[in-house]
């Protein structure tokens, strides 16, 4: 089942083109890694997929009965969150807001969903703790649990392991792989080539102003682009 | 002690003292509700900026002899609040600079207009009263009190109805928008109620001291509490308690109402800071 299809996308901001002619598709159950250098337009692409920005040209098709509000999102942490007084439970529950409409409180089912997702990610015992006092890995799990409350079909992850120590990063990648096995489609931005080629099923490599490669991981490793980067990352699958 | 109580019950007979207490408590309540969000959004100074806009509008209203100044002041302040909060991220002039620009500009124009058109002989006294609110809370009319009550109830109702959304939008605007919660709408609602509160608060503490009412209770509560709910509730309690104490002290000691309330707020902040440090120390022992 095809969930997202992009055709000849051109992205940019304030009239300036960042990347053009992006075409790729995402099917249910895929694990797509978007790789590329800083400033190549990875985050812009993700924001466009989420509807936070509009594309300059091209088409994005959301299919398979997927509504825009059914996309979960794990953003990079913002400065505001660093000293925000909020309990883990409050943050996770806020993921349910997109289905509550104008109802001013959470329903029983929504509260239960928040508890279940905290359980799933192993942060239930942290529920009453303050978000800003957690370790980086625990904070990412909290945000991931919130994303799961918002959507159970597809998740967009913006550098989920940024700023984590190697152990916490590996745990995070394992967790994401587990969720992917449970049937959640993943689209992830990553700087970490090693992890990308280890976990992903598909790779989208954005180069200077255009897509260098899109296809399965296997094809990527045999392609020219894959050789350069996988070589640099030190990973040989 | 008896003398103080006697003095208080003597003053309590006067309606203007009762009005001052009612309005004071309501404004303290409203401003502290919004303070938590504003401080977290890095908009601490919006209170200051908007209060200067309100001051400018007030000057214009006085110059053209409007019978009810609220009708000009409120829309002008709401407009500026919307511009500042909505523009937030995507403008050439960033948040803090935009606030500073509007704030200083409105203050200067306001003073200029007051100077050119004022018919009062005591100009610096007028300016001082508008900026520091030294007496205006003690000269409220019954209509103004009712207006204040109605607007406060509205602000509190909106805050309670949208509490969870305000939390989500403050914590992470991008996530909210991406998952289909309209951050723009809630930012607009926030901007409007912030402007309403600031126009209200101008009557109590005057333009210059509004920021204190917005910032201090929120910061005090954040020293000790760690969830959004607890911080919101605590800052409301702190704010109302400080306002009541400030008004009573100012009656007893004959000090200006606005600055006395802020002084009590400062004392509150340091006590909470002290307790916060103590609690942390107790935990590590």
The ranges assigned to domains in chain B are 2-284
By CA distance, what is B159's nearest residue in A? A104
Query: Interface of chain B against chain A, CB under 8 Å?
Result: 40-42, 160-165, 167-168, 170-172, 174-181, 222, 225-231
Q: What is the pLDDT of residues B194-221, one digit of tens each?
A: 888 887 777 666 766 788 888 899 999 9
Distance from CA of A58 to the nearest CA of B (A): 20
Tens-place pLDDT, residues B76-114: 888 888 888 766 555 556 667 788 888 889 888 888 888
Instruction: Tell me the two tokens of residue A56.
Output: 């300059």
- State residue B205's pLDDT score: 65
Query: Using an 8 Å Cβ cutoff, are A214 and A204 in contact?
Result: yes
At B264, the pLDDT band (50, 70, 90 cuts) reads very high
CA-CA-CA-CA torsion for A142, A144, A145, A149, nearest 10 degrees? Answer: 140
- Cross-chain Cβ contact A80/B175 below 8 Å: no
Candidates B160, B171, B226; nearest CB to A94: B171
> Is CATH 3.40.50.300 what the domain over A1-66+153-237 is classified as, yes or no?
yes
Looking at per-residue pLDDT, the higher value among A227 and A189 belongs to A189
Total Cβ atoms within 10 A of residue A124: 16
- Residues in A 37-56 with any Cβ partner in B closer than 8 A: 47, 50-52
Q: What is the 3-state secondary structure (H, E, C) of chain B?
A: CHHHHHHHHHHHCCHHHHHHHHHHHHHHHHHHHHHHHHHHCCCCCHHHHHHHHHHHHHHHHHHCCCCCCHHHHHHHHHHHHHHHHHHCCCCCCCHHHHHHHHHHHHHHHHHHHHHHHCCCCCHHHHHHHHHHCCCHHHHCCHHHHHHHHHHHHHHHHHHHHCHHHHHHHHHCHHHHHHCCCCHHHHHHHHHHHHHHHHHHHHHHHCHHHHHHHHHHHHHHHHHHCCCHHHHHHHHHHHHHHHHHHHHHHHHHHCCCHHHHHHHHHHHHHHHHHHHHHHHHHHHHC
CATH 3.40.50.300 residue spans of chain A: 1-66+153-237
pLDDT, position A224: 65
Indicate yes or no: CB of A86 within 8 angstroms of CB of B222: no
Confidence band for A234, pLDDT divided at 50, 70 and 90: very low
pLDDT computed for residue A233 by the predictor: 47
CB contact under 8 Å between B228 and A80, yes or no, is no
The rounded percent of chain A whose pLDDT value lies above 90 is 4
Please answer yes or no on whether A98 and B175 come within 8 Å at the CB atom: no
Question: Chain B within 8 Å of A134 (Cβ-Cβ)?
Answer: no
CA distance A12 to chain B (A): 14
Query: In CATH, what class is B2-284?
Result: mainly alpha
Q: Which of residues 56-95 of A touch B (CB under 8 A)?
A: 67-69, 71-73, 75, 78-81, 84-87, 90-91, 93-95
| Tens digits of residue pLDDT in A122-158 | 888 888 899 988 888 888 889 989 988 888 788 899 8
Which among A90, A104, A150 is the nearest to B179, CB-wise? A150
Predicted local confidence at residue A235, as pLDDT: 42
Contact A84 B177 (CB under 8 A): no
Q: Does A15 touch chain B (CB under 8 A)?
A: no
pLDDT in tens, B36-64: 988 888 777 887 788 888 888 888 887 77
Interface mutation target, options B40, B89, B166, B180, chain A, most CBs of A under 10 Å: B180
> How many beta-carbon pairs below 8 A join chains A and B?
95
Question: pLDDT tens-digit profile of A67-120?
Answer: 666 778 888 887 778 778 999 999 999 888 877 777 888 888 888 888 988 988
Q: Does A113 touch chain B (CB under 8 A)?
A: no
Please state, for a pLDDT cut of 70, what percent of chain A lies above it: 90
Interface pTM, i.e. ipTM: 0.83
Shortest Cα distance from B127 to chain A (angstroms)? Answer: 37
**Does B172 sit within 8 Å of A81, measured CB to CB?**
yes
State percent of chain B over pLDDT 90. Answer: 15
Q: Do A104 and B160 touch (CB under 8 A)?
A: yes
Report CB contact under 8 Å: B227, A130: yes
* Distance of residue B35 Cα from the nearest chain A Cα, in angstroms: 13
| A146 inside 8 A of chain B by CB | yes
């Amino acid at each position: 089942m095809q969930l997202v299809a992009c055709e000849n996308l051109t992205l940019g901001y304030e009239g300036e083109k960042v990347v053009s002619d992006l075409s790729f598709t995402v099917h249910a159950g895929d694990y797509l890694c978007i790789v590329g250098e800083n400033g190549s337009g990875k985050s812009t692409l993700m924001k466009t997929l989420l509807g936070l920005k509009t594309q300059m040209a091209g088409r994005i098709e959301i299919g398979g009965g997927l509504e825009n509000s059914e996309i979960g999102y794990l953003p990079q942490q913002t400065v505001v969150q660093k000293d925000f007084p909020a309990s883990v439970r409050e943050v996770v529950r806020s993921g349910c807001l997109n289905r509550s409409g104008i109802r001013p409180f959470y329903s029983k089912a929504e509260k239960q969903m928040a508890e279940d997702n905290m359980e799933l990610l192993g942060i239930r015992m942290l529920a009453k703790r303050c978000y800003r006092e957690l370790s980086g890995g625990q904070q990412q799990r909290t945000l991931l649990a919130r994303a799961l409350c918002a959507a159970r079909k597809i998740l967009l992850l913006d550098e989920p392991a940024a700023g984590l120590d190697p152990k916490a990063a590996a745990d995070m990648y394992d967790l994401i792989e587990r969720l992917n096995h449970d049937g959640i489609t993943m689209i992830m931005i990553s700087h970490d080539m090693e992890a990308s080629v280890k976990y992903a099923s598909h790779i989208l490599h954005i180069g200077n102003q255009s897509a260098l490669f899109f296809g399965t991981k296997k094809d990527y490793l045999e392609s020219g682009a894959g050789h350069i980067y996988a070589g640099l990352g030190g990973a040989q699958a | 002690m008896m003398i103080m109580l006697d003095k208080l019950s003597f003053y309590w007979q006067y309606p203007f003292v009762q009005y001052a207490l009612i309005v004071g408590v309501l404004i303290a309540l409203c401003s502290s509700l919004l303070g938590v969000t504003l401080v977290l959004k890095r908009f601490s100074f919006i209170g200051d900026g908007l209060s200067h806009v309100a001051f400018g509008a007030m000057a214009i209203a006085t110059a053209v002899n409007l019978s009810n100044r609220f009708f000009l002041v409120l829309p002008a302040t709401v407009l500026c609040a919307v511009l500042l909060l909505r523009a937030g991220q995507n403008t050439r002039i960033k948040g803090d600079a935009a606030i500073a620009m509007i704030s200083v500009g409105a203050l200067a124009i306001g003073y200029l207009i007051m100077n050119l058109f004022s018919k009062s002989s005591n100009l610096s006294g007028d300016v001082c009263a508008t900026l520091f609110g030294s007496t205006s809370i003690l000269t409220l009319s019954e209509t103004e009190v009712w207006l204040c009550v109605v607007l406060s109830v509205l602000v509190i109702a909106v805050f309670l109805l949208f509490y969870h959304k305000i939390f989500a939008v403050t914590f992470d605007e991008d996530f909210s928008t991406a998952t289909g919660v309209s951050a723009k709408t809630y930012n607009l609602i926030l901007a409007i109620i912030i402007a309403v509160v600031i126009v209200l608060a101008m009557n109590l503490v005057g333009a210059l001291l509004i920021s204190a009412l917005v910032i201090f209770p929120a910061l005090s509560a954040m020293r000790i509490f760690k969830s959004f709910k607890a911080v919101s509730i605590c800052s409301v309690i702190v704010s109302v308690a400080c306002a009541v104490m400030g008004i009573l002290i100012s009656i007893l000691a004959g000090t200006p109402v606005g600055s006395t309330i802020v002084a009590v707020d400062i004392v509150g902040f340091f006590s909470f800071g002290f307790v916060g440090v103590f609690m942390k120390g107790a935990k590590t022992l």
